């Protein structure tokens, strides 16, 4: 990968495995949206950006300094996904899955945002999850300005910790409101130290997260994978259950994918949801 400043954008060239649609629409994040030209805009880690592909280059709004301090890490650009795809190609089904999903990457998302977002995601569909999170950010997040437009950062835990269930009723997120507030209180008070969790192994961090009401096995695994960037976490939702049942034995163990089980999961999930593996 090479990069250089081009007016208000940074141009990345020679980027391998970088497909905007697969990265943003594979189900891992909820705050990026594309316009009719395929230009994505969104907010991560308190920064707004626009990002687009033109021919073989990726253009990200902002300076080289922004790119180096924020986006390079966020997009996990120093990891060789091509190599990982080869490693995960362990049987016919996985080869098809990684081939189909080539170009997706696991974003290194902000920890608290991941916790809160995946609490909201439970028993919900993506459009509604995105709508709720957008409303939450508009109401409680700091304003961010980019290119004459206003964006909103993900609200800090201390802000949400002081809200009542009634204060969140406008979100219409139902029983999840209480979970959000409890999680915000736990993080704000220091009872749950997300930075410290990042240093534990997957099993210990899962257990710490599952101590929160409203965080079960699936949600906790999503938080560990997408928020703590532990690539061996393996979230299993209904789609994953289905695809595992179709392609593996009852004694299936994600350990067969080694330390990249979480990435394997994302290829499987994306492939399963596409419905392409049925035909």
Partner DNA sequence: AAACAGGCCTAAA
Partner DNA sequence: TTTAGGCCTGTT
Binding-site ranges for DNA (CB under 7 A): 27-28, 121-126, 128, 169, 172-176, 210, 212-220, 222, 237-239, 269
CA distance 110 to 124: 21
Q: Nearest distance from residue 265's CB to DNA, in Å?
A: 9
Cβ atoms 194, 211 nearer than 8 A: no
CB of residue 197 to DNA, shortest distance in Å = 16
Read off the tokens for 183: 């999680």
CB of 31 to DNA, least distance (A): 13
Nearest residue (CB) to DNA, 12 versus 186? 186
Beta-strand pair 32-34/40-44: antiparallel
Q: What is the DSSP letter of 276?
A: G
Q: Are 101 and 267 in contact (CB under 8 A)?
A: yes
Residue with tokens 């891992």: 28
Q: Which is nearer to DNA, 43 or 129 (CB)?
A: 129
For residue 49, give the nearest of 38, 63, 37 by alpha carbon.
Answer: 63
Nearer to DNA, 60 or 98 (CB): 98
Q: Pick between residue 12 and residue 173 the one whose CB is nearest to DNA.
A: 173
Extract the tokens encoding 189: 């008070």
CB of 239 to DNA, least distance (A): 6
Rounded to whole angstroms, the Cα distance separating 231 from 234 reads 8
- Supply the minimum distance, in Å, between the C-beta of residue 211 and DNA: 8
């Amino acid at each position: 990968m090479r990069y250089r400043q081009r007016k208000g954008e940074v141009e990345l060239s020679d980027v391998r495995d970088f497909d905007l649609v697969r990265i943003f629409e594979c189900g891992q994040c909820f705050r990026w949206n594309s316009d009719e030209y395929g230009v994505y805009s969104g907010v991560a880690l308190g920064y707004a950006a626009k990002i687009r592909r033109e021919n073989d280059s990726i253009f990200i709004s902002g300076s080289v300094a922004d790119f180096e301090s924020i986006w390079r890490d966020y997009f996990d650009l120093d990891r060789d996904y091509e190599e990982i795809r080869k490693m995960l190609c362990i049987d016919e089904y996985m080869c098809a899955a990684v081939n189909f999903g080539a170009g997706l990457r696991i974003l290194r998302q902000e920890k608290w945002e991941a916790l809160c977002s995946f609490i909201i995601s439970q028993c919900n569909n993506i459009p509604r999850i995105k709508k709720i999170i957008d409303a939450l950010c508009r109401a409680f997040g700091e304003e961010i300005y980019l290119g004459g437009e206003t964006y909103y950062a993900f609200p800090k835990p201390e802000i949400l910790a002081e809200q009542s269930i009634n204060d969140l009723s406008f979100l219409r997120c139902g029983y999840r409101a209480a979970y959000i507030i409890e999680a915000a209180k736990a993080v704000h008070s220091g009872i749950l130290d997300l930075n410290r969790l990042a240093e534990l192994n997957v099993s210990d961090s899962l257990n710490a997260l599952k101590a929160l009401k409203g965080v079960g096995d699936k949600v906790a695994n999503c938080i560990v994978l997408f928020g703590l960037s532990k690539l061996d976490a393996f979230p299993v939702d209904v789609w994953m259950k289905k695809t595992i049942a179709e392609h593996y034995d009852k004694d299936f163990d994600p350990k067969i994918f080694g330390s990249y089980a979480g990435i394997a999961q994302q290829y499987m999930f994306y492939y399963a949801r596409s419905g392409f593996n049925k035909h």
